[in-house]
A and B are shown apart, each in its own frame.
Chain A
């Protein structure tokens, strides 16, 4: 029968189709990641970390959240004051700001029972620095002597050694660090999670470790399903002081933070640590006070391509840059666009460095809106190079298009021209970074800086020192570099900060970038939980969250 045989062929084709779609196979599903997780567990919003979770391979907030929960390093930053305090460090001593002796506290274990010793640190740091492991945060170890041998800079070069000569084990709980040059505030870097200790299991069963990381922090990983979420419970062997008051944390991956926000409102999620811009205007009434808006160590700037020697890099352009800075109405933009979740910038650092170098007086009139003087300065400097400028940023995150439009409108209104400043939204962050690193920018572009550690040095050296890793505008000033070197070698903290601030004043004078505003951390939470707070890195302090 004709019909029957046709049908048979259709069926066969359908089988092939099904086989093709199902070829990925179906994993047996975990227990259902139900809506609101009960029993003292806090559910929180998350997005997928971009790399596998390893201490020295995570350089963004989402992976950092996990590291914060499962690792405790030698130092920790106080969630309120941002001060670096010893955690696993018994003592860190130096006489010459270059050779440090580090004693590790006894009695700490990893969640698999292994002891945390000096070797756990030395091995972890050597692993992080070694070029063969291609870790994203390898450069955090660059101050240690011997870094150049394990991590040569040239493309294709092989490592000359497996370990850094500056790290030496003394006994089970003591090791010494020799830096390549004097650096008085170096121990304060050690709160950064790239300096976390690693258990033997990390090196022996690396794949298994990546699937379920093992650390020494307040929480331990119960299950990690990439792309979906992570479940963490309290680490019973945790020897630190800030023991969790809840029973665990469930991180849920969201495709869209607006959805996460709606889920908090619907009672399906407890904590969202990034309130989407569109909801800021109504967050107070939605959450009835369950909303946090506090300073975080993030500063947004507009950087100029000073490598364009005949436009933005000329001597006269300094006046134009000062004028542009004064043409931006920061108060109005942070109020109308960001509903006060940004604070107008008054220097190049961040208010979280309360006593560590933040100052309201550094930028002064150059960061204050003054339309008439702005126009005068820009005209004195010969006007905007080429008559028009294009302001660029990626627009895939962070409502950047909104403030760029507002900044351009502000500048255009001051100049009385309609198209002096136009906005160039770049679709993806990757594309945007490409244009920056290839030095293809013809006009100013957004530069956001989230601190790695709460030290003034971190807001200046990587961004503005000659040839520094994030000096994307290619600013170069010998006096500035010299002041930074002096500050690094200065053993007295107050004097060092003074030197850093002197350097910062040079930035204001040259204005290689315009400080726009300090970005706040914003979080909202459900009525199931209490004591929600953000640390200076705008990450929720999960240990302290209590469930009603």
Chain B
């Protein structure tokens, strides 16, 4: 995964709110950002979509009464009929029901990997950046080691070895090979913040290391991590689908978009509807998280205000 944001001094997006804002009292970075976000249509749309997705994942039964595992081969590859708007897949399962029920696994993978990567990468990268010297050399080289392993290859090998196909093994694996990206960003971000005057001042005043890290460095260095994480979330979901295509992703009885897309990809000529709906749902999800990430990036970037 490319680490692009690290090198980007700042970001911008089409719908970035103009700088003209009333400022009555000084607000925190976060307060400012929230003010911007509230008025950003991209943020509102993406937030609503994500809310919908989370609801679907948590309570799929609200959206369909059809059982995704009730399949009748007689209906194999039948297109849209009444009561089954998306048609049936090759096994004769209802595509709409499978799309709804498949949301949970995909969204869980996306969110959990993102959180895990942000925590692991953020902490290791932050420590490397803050302490510098030997710590930095050691942690950075460990980062390089994991960075050097191609993700799909690692997936093929690692996931075959542990034989699990549950959501949690896939998540654990993806965290293990994705954290270096965030670690690098966190490291460079912490290095920048560390040299700021207010951190030096706090040091001069005799503040403890813990206090400096938690009160001064963390809040100011975390923005780029959040930004990249939200964008990367979408790509994690997409990678899960590719792992399923390679035969090492999630496994039944888990229902996931990735599995459905990879079996539909072979039938693209005979039953395109099998591909369209789960792939469309995946794209929509990825899109809404990327849009959210974009909006957050704009809001957190002081230069654009």
Contacts and interface: CB of A to CB of B under 8 A. Distances in A.
A427 interface: yes
Nearest to B68: A418
B70 to A, nearest CB: 7
Range of interface residues on B (Cβ < 8 Å): 20 to 34
A427 B247 contact: yes
Contacts of A413: 71-72
Interface in B145-166: 156, 159-160, 163, 165
A337 B251 contact: no
Given A337-B90, A431-B160, A282 B270 contact: yes
Contacts of A426: 163
Contacts of B263: 401-402
A278 B77 CA distance: 12
A181 interface: no
A277 interface: yes
A332 B270 contact: no
Interface string B118-162: 000000000000000000000000000000000000001001100
Contacts of B91: 402, 405-406, 409
Range of interface residues on A (Cβ < 8 Å): 20 to 34
A410 B270 contact: no
A336 B93 CA distance: 13
Contact of B253 (A258, A336, A337, A419): A419
Contacts, number: 76
B248 to A, nearest CB: 5
B266 A278 contact: yes
Interface string A399-435: 1011001100110110000110011111110010000
A423 B73 contact: no
A402 B69 contact: no
B269 interface: yes
A69 B160 CA distance: 37
Given A418-B67, A422-B252, A427-B156, A333 B266 contact: no
A278 B253 contact: no
Nearest to B67: A418
B268 interface: yes
Looking at A282, A399, A406, the one whose CB has the most chain B CB atoms below 10 A away is A406
Contacts of B248: 427
A136 interface: no
B159 A279 contact: no
B160 A332 contact: no
A425 B247 contact: yes
Nearest to B69: A418
Contacts of A419: 69, 253
Given A278-B266, A279-B269, A282-B269, A336 B90 contact: yes
A6 to B, nearest CB: 18
Given A329-B73, A428-B160, A277 B266 contact: yes
A396 interface: yes
- Nearest 5 A/B pairs, CB to CB: A278-B266, A336-B76, A281-B270, A427-B247, A427-B160
27 contacts: A277-B266, A278-B270, A281-B77, A281-B269, A282-B269, A329-B73, A336-B74, A336-B77, A401-B263, A402-B91, A405-B91, A406-B91, A409-B71, A409-B91, A409-B92, A409-B93, A410-B73, A412-B69, A418-B70, A423-B251, A424-B252, A425-B165, A425-B252, A426-B163, A427-B159, A428-B247, A431-B160
